[in-house]
Amino acid sequence: MKTILFDLDGTLTDSGEGIINCASLALEKLGLPVPDRENMRVFVGPPLRESFPKFGVRDEDVEEAIAIYRSRYVPIGMFENTPYPGIRAMLAALKVQGHRLYVATSKPESMAKSILEKFELTNYFEAICGATLDGSRDTKEGVIAYTLSQIECYDEILMVGDTQYDVLGAAENGIRTIGVSWGYGKADDMIAAGAIKIAHSPAELLKVLL
């Protein structure tokens, strides 16, 4: 049986609307220009501490930007979100086959759990592992390492994600990644980072995993 780690944003759920809305608010409050929504898509996936400086936030203002972001994200933004069509059926099929499923996300763990509970996806996973609010664990590499520490034993293990950060973080932990094209990353970037396969729908992903 396989142990499969799933990214959350852009892989299981389409969370772009809420993330972009909250990041835009933070930039606006700090008096910085707010790019168009297409350019803001890069906020989906990577840790906020990496993303905000790319949009002009000074190092000394990053924590303030994150606080503004979370002031909207926790009550509103994280639920401006929806599971991708076919995700629930795919997870159910994997579970029936006996595979062990985990979430490994750069999103704060408490928020990831709330989102998955909202959409009634929690029961498909052995554990939901994410970042810490204080930034002590927020890289993909760190989150995957933490997830592996929660697994007692496994035979074959795979990562599933939508960005090069998933691929690179998994590789740092000795894990291969299957990329998905329906999220916020680019297939070419994932392949260049070492993804072994790109799936273009949850149904195709299920066939690859099985």
The Cα–Cα gap between 13 and 11 comes to: 6
**Which of the residues are catalytic?**
7
Q: What angle do CA 106, 75, 47 make, to 5 degrees?
A: 20
Distance from the first to the final alpha carbon of the chain: 10
Q: Give the residue from 23, 57, 64 showing the smallest Cα distance to 40.
A: 23
Alpha helices (H) along the chain: 16-29, 37-40, 48-51, 62-73, 87-96, 109-118, 140-149, 164-172, 187-193, 202-209
Residue 116, exposed/middle/buried by CB under 10 A (0-12, 13-18, 19+)?
buried
With CA atoms as reference, report the closest residue to 191 among 181, 183, 202.
181
Nearest to 190 by CA among 161, 150, 157: 161
Q: Among residues 152, 106, 147, 137, which one has the least CA distance to residue 7? A: 106
The residue written with tokens 């260049």 in the block is 192
